[in-house]
């Protein structure tokens, strides 16, 4: 029975999950990370490459004549030269939809952290201030309900639609802007971007990064948003101009922002977002919205199934 050589190039990006199912499909080699200078030697002679973020371009494919399958441990495949892979007859397979619930949950986790101020109140209690209080409650930081708010979604794909469903369950009024111009018959109110920004109390970004969406939200867009607006980006870094966002927060053009993605990851220490005057107005997490335990388990299951299906096809050919 044919047992292909399988190499996983950046296992650390997948966290602590079991790679055992892959060992049943071939001879597996796992690397925590792979730098460009080590990439060629690690893939040479391997029939199957698994990559999350490592770039697989023309030079890499040409260096490995044995290569038959590239498995992307993600939904997006922008790190692979798809056109050249097609010319070479190399299959490229991704895993779609595995992280939807994780991203949606993290989106609302970030929103409620900013809207409800639980960190402030937790610190108030644990500091002893609550024990010294003369009354049973404390309202040092006001918070709002999501019900009745205008929830604006930029990008109504699979994740955007689930966000819309959850927002609606909290009785928010949902509107959206389609960056592709294709999703315009969804049962939700479609608005031009300018109108969406003007009307929304929450702006939630769930679109891909491309030439159309790069710097989609900059200083001029922040100027037309509500002063009490909350911006959430769990889509891609680069959609929100970070320098302009830091100015918008300092000038109080918007109330809060929550980012799970940045234009460069990890970010430079000089990123202007780290120097805003009121850091409590900004929540940043290190690109973890996709990474629940369940999500990563689904991802590994998807990769395993992709390789298994490919090998079945290969054995029949």
pLDDT tens figures, 143-153? 999 999 999 99
Q: Which domain holds residue 37?
A: 5-98+294-316
| Cα 284 to Cα 301: distance, rounded to the nearest angstrom | 29
Catalytic, 242? Answer no
Task: Indicate which residue of 265, 280, 297, 301 is catalytic.
Answer: 265
Chain segment 33-66, per-residue pLDDT in tens: 999 999 999 999 999 999 999 999 999 999 999 9
Q: What is the CATH number of the domain that holds 44?
A: 3.40.50.720
What is the pLDDT confidence band of residue 1, given thresholds at 50, 70 and 90?
Answer: low
273 in a domain, yes or no?
A: yes
Is 72 in the same domain as 200? Answer: no
128 pLDDT tier (thresholds 50, 70, 90): very high
**For residue 185, what pLDDT is reported?**
66
Selecting among 91, 189, 190, 287, the annotated active-site residue is 287
Does one domain contain both 274 and 239? yes
Considering only CA atoms, which of 217, 306, 220 is closest in space to residue 6? 306
Instruction: Tell me phi and psi for residue 295, to 5 degrees.
Output: -65, -45
Number of domains in the chain: 2
| Residue 314 pLDDT | 82
DSSP 103-117: HHHHHHHHHHHHHH-
pLDDT of residue 317 exceeding 80 = no
Of the residues 42, 106, 236, 296, only one is catalytic, namely 236
Q: What is the pLDDT of residue 287?
A: 96
Angle at alpha carbon of residue 216, lines to 221 and 236, rounded to 5°: 130
DSSP codes joined into one string, 46-87: -SEEEESSS-B-HHHHHT-TT--EEEESSS--TTB-HHHHHH
Residue 65 lies in a domain: yes
- Mark whether 265 is an active-site residue: yes
Amino acid 230: pLDDT: 98
- Asked if 143 and 276 sit in the same domain, the reply is yes
Identify whether residues 263 and 306 lie together within a single domain. no
90/200 Cα distance (integer angstroms): 45
* Average of per-residue pLDDT across 197-211: 96
Please provide the average confidence, as pLDDT, over all residues in the chain: 95
Residue 8: CB atoms within 10 A of its CB come to: 25
| pLDDT tens-place string over residues 221-251 | 999 999 999 999 999 999 999 999 999 999 9
Q: Residue 315 has what pLDDT?
A: 79
160-188 tens-digit pLDDT: 999 999 999 999 999 999 998 877 767 89
């Amino acid at each position: 029975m044919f047992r292909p050589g399988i190499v996983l190039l950046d296992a650390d990006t997948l966290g602590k999950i079991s790679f055992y199912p892959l060992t049943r499909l071939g001879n597996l080699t796992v690397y925590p990370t792979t730098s460009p200078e080590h990439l060629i030697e690690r893939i040479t002679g391997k029939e199957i490459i698994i990559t999350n973020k490592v770039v697989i371009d023309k030079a890499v494919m040409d260096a490995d004549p044995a290569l038959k399958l590239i498995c992307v441990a993600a939904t997006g495949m922008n790190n692979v030269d798809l056109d050249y892979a097609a010319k070479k007859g190399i299959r490229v397979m991704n895993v779609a939809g595995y992280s939807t619930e994780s991203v949606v949950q993290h989106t609302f986790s970030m929103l409620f952290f900013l809207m409800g101020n639980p960190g402030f109140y937790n610190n108030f209690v644990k500091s002893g201030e609550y024990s010294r209080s003369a009354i049973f409650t404390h309202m040092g930081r006001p918070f709002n309900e999501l019900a009745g708010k205008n929830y604006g979604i930029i990008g109504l794909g699979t994740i955007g639609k689930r966000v819309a469903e959850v927002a609606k369950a909290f009785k928010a009024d949902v509107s959206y802007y389609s960056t592709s111009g294709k999703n315009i018959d969804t049962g939700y109110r479609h608005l031009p971007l300018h109108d969406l920004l003007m009307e929304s109390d929450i702006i939630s970004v769930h679109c891909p990064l491309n030439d159309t969406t790069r710097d989609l939200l900059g200083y001029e867009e922040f100027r037309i948003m509500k002063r009490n607006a909350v911006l959430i980006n769990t889509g891609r870094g680069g959609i929100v101009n970070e320098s302009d966002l830091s100015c918008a927060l300092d000038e109080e053009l918007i109330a809060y922002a929550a980012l799970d993605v940045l234009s460069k990851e990890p970010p430079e220490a000089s990123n202007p977002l780290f120097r805003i005057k009121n850091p409590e107005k900004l929540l940043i997490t290190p690109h973890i919205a996709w990474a629940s335990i369940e999500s990563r388990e689904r991802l590994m299951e998807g990769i395993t199934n992709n390789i298994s299906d490919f090998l079945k096809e290969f054995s029949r050919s």
